Amino acid sequence: MKRLVVVLVIIAVAVIIFLILGPFYIVEEGEQAVVIRFGDIIKSTTEAGLHIKTPIVDTVVKYPKRIMSWDGQPRLFPTEEQQFIFVDTTARWRIVDPELFYERLTTIESAFGRLDDVIESAMATVVAQNPIYEAVRTTNVINEIERGGASTEAVGDAVEGIEQIANLIITVEKQETLDKGRTVLSHEVLADAGRVVNDFGMELIDVVIRQIRYSDDLTNSVYDRMVSERQRIARAYRSLGEGRKELILGELVREKNRIISEAFATSEQIRGEADAAAAQTYSGAYRQDPDFFEFWRAIESYREILPRFQKTLTTDLEYFQYLYSETGQ
């Protein structure tokens, strides 16, 4: 009996020790595990639940099965035109092969470090192969927006040069047409980086360019370009205004000349009619008393001429016949 009790106690102690040493391990929802024995991978578990391992010799390494995010630091990359921009990128990834992941990287911290290298390298390659506007913009909507500006209707009957300036104002702000855009560049980065991270037991779900910021030198260059474009538009508007001014002034001059010409013609007609009436009146008066008419005209002439008359050598002229009487002569 005592021997049986001793055996039961030994068995109970062994079971307790076995349980203490941990023959079981639990995989939670959203987790996956790799069982390691003396540095070698024995098996991997991706299903949640209670699982068995060999105590003491087996070690369980757990990894998250959920989708994780990677946030990169803004990095300065050169574009195709050798213009530098800061690119801030984020990505989503997950572990799809825990055994390969353990062999190549082992820890999550190592995975983030590897993602830093792979994604930033792919981003640098893609950005360097494309012009800056491909990275900055996503669509060509900016070229479909109607802009305020002069049109040929606003110009009216302006000359051809002014109409060309009006068309310049309409089109001056047209931007380059995208072939790819930021979204396509993100997909290219995803494809390049995805092929590399697959070798580490990971899946790269997506890569998103979160923000792009110009470098200080490029910011100044863009600002100068904006100022230049606005000055160009201002010059076009001023040129358009000067053209309209000259057109209006030309119309005013033509209208003024027309009015003056018509007024001159009317005045000449009235003057001619008046001269004809005066001649008719003079002729009637002359016929009534020719001697008195001659005398009156001579007196009117003396009144006009003599105040400015300075000297004469003789008065023995027919013009002065009414100045002296026969006794006075």
Choose between 149 and 111: higher pLDDT.
111
Mean of the pLDDT values across residues 34-53? 86
In a domain, 164, yes or no: no
Shared-domain flag, residues 57 and 76:
no
Q: In the predicted model, is pLDDT for residue 150 greater than 70?
A: no
Q: Which letter does DSSP use for residue 177 in this model? A: P
**Residue 277 within a domain:** no
- Looking at the fold, whether 78 and 182 belong to one and the same domain comes out as yes
Higher pLDDT, 146 or 287: 287
Structure pTM?
0.58
Residues near 58 by beta carbon (within 8 Å), at least 6 away in sequence: 35, 36, 37, 42
Angle at 136 between CA 132 and CA 142, to 5 degrees: 110
Are 39 and 27 within 8 A, CB to CB? Answer: no
| pLDDT above 90 for 4 | no
| Structure confidence at residue 26 as a pLDDT band (50, 70, 90) | confident
Q: Are residues 105 and 10 in the same domain?
A: no
Residue 282 forms part of a structural domain? no
Give me the mean pLDDT over the 30-47 stretch.
89
**Predicted local confidence at residue 159, as pLDDT:** 46
CATH number at residue 198: 3.30.479.30
Count other Cβ atoms within 10 Å, centred on residue 138. 17
Structural domain contains residue 281: no
Q: Which domain holds residue 16?
A: 2-64
Is the same domain home to 189 and 323? no
Quote the mean pLDDT of the chain.
80
Q: Which of 214, 235, 269 is the last residue of a domain?
A: 214
- 112 with 198, same domain: the answer is yes
Residue corresponding to tokens 């006075």: 328
Q: Render pLDDT for 125-144 as a digit per residue (tens, 0 to 9).
A: 999 999 988 888 888 776 66
Last residue of a domain, one of 30, 45, 64: 64
In a domain, 296, yes or no: yes
Q: Which pLDDT tens digit goes with each residue over 172-231?
A: 456 778 888 899 999 999 999 999 999 999 999 999 998 888 877 767 777 787 888 888
Residue 85 and residue 27 share a domain: no
Share of the chain above pLDDT 70, in %: 76
Question: What does 27-83 look like in DSSP terms, one character per residue?
Answer: E-TTEEEEEEETTEEEEEE-S-EEEE--TTTEEEEEEE-S-EEEEPPPEEEE-TTS-
Residue 60 shares a structural domain with residue 72: no
Number of domains in the chain: 3
Q: What is the Cα–Cα distance from 261 to 267, expressed in whole angstroms?
A: 10
320 and 200: one domain? no
